[in-house]
Amino acid sequence: MTVVAMRYQTFLFDLDGTLVDTAPDLAAATNRVRTVRGLTPLPEAELRPYASQGAPGLLGKAMNISNTDPSFSELRAEFLANYQSAMTVHSCAFTGVIELLDRLRAHGIKTGIVTNKYFHLAKSLVKDLGLSDRLDLILGSDSDGCAMKPAPDSLLTAARQLQVQPQTILYAGDDPRDIQAAHHAGMLAASIQWGYGLTDPHTWEADFVAEKPLDLYLWLLQLNKVDI
């Protein structure tokens, strides 16, 4: 495939709920926190909408606590240990994600992950699912120069590391915080409809709403005025 000069030369993504369906394993780790306390496991469907919110969202739903609760730190450490021991039992890339990444890279587009997940967890997950070779960068919220979205720090750090200007980057995610972070960083942002968002992605003030992964590829081509 011919590589042409493009205005938008980098496409970055959220991880959980955007590229990878991690909800089954996140729900299992959460339910282990419940079961060791004699509580009945919650159906995955009840926990799934909170998967993108990490420990605060999942434990908030499962244990009815906030991250300011005195017991939160202990529960969070237990949840993370549960999760790290079984991250890819049922997790997998969403249908169409592999093709999306391959098409982008065939056009010479740099790709990467900017996630609120801890870096070591994100890196391990991506490696185990065979996505590493399709990415130029992985940043977690604890990586140098990064912070939890909706702060733009992680996206701006990604731009510096990839040596591209923020305004040449597109970002996609399944939570309003993703859209806010991208806009704060001066990037265009797409919301996606196959993720874990608790609200309608059309209400997040995104620049584009994707129904399926390949819609993001077509959006980039349209922006760059490349014939499909």
Residues designated as active site = 14, 16
Query: Do the Cβ atoms of 155 and 164 come closer than 8 Å?
Result: no
Query: Do the Cβ atoms of 171 and 181 come closer than 8 Å?
Result: yes
Report the C-alpha gap between 202 and 190 in whole angstroms: 10
Give the DSSP H/E element, type plus range, for residue 99: helix 97-106
Residue 226 gets the label, from left (phi > 0), alpha (psi -120 to 50) or beta, of beta
Chain CA centroid to CA 113, Å: 7
Contact partners, residue 135, CB within 8 Å, separation at least 6: 101, 111, 112, 113, 126
Report the C-alpha gap between 216 and 8 in whole angstroms: 12
In this structure, what token pair is assigned to residue 12?
């970055």
Contact partners, residue 3, CB within 8 Å, separation at least 6: 107, 108
